[in-house]
Amino acid sequence: MRANGSEISYSKIICTYGYSLISLIPAVIISSLQIEYINTLILLISILLSSTIILSTFWEEISKFEKNKKYLSLGLIILFQIILFLSVKFYFIVMLN
């Protein structure tokens, strides 16, 4: 992100993203209940918690970006979280049950 005028290092981005994924561990374990709507609800809560960790960590830097880069950064974070949600949903919950 240094190219965008930010002082966030790539290692901090990777570490924060990895740390934010810790909320998925209990969600996948609880998914053994095999109740579809509860599994989806718990997974959504987990992804929202993960997104909150990422956004709260990087919001100060993202808010300094120009308007277009700010929306692009937020859009990429949301896109990656949606992809993660769908991957966990269809692999760990649907395929393994």
Is residue 94 predicted with pLDDT exceeding 70?
no
Ordered DSSP codes for the chain: -GGGT----HHHHHHHHHHHGGGHHHHHHHGGG--HHHHHHHHHHHHHHHHHHHHHHHHHHHTTS-HHHHHHHHHHHHHHHHHHHHHIIIIIIIIT-
Per-residue confidence at 5, pLDDT binned at 50, 70, 90? low
Range of the domain at 66: 2-95
Over residues 23-43, the mean pLDDT reads: 84
Per-residue confidence at 17, pLDDT binned at 50, 70, 90? confident
How many domains are there within the chain?
A: 1
* More confident of the two residues 43 and 7: 43
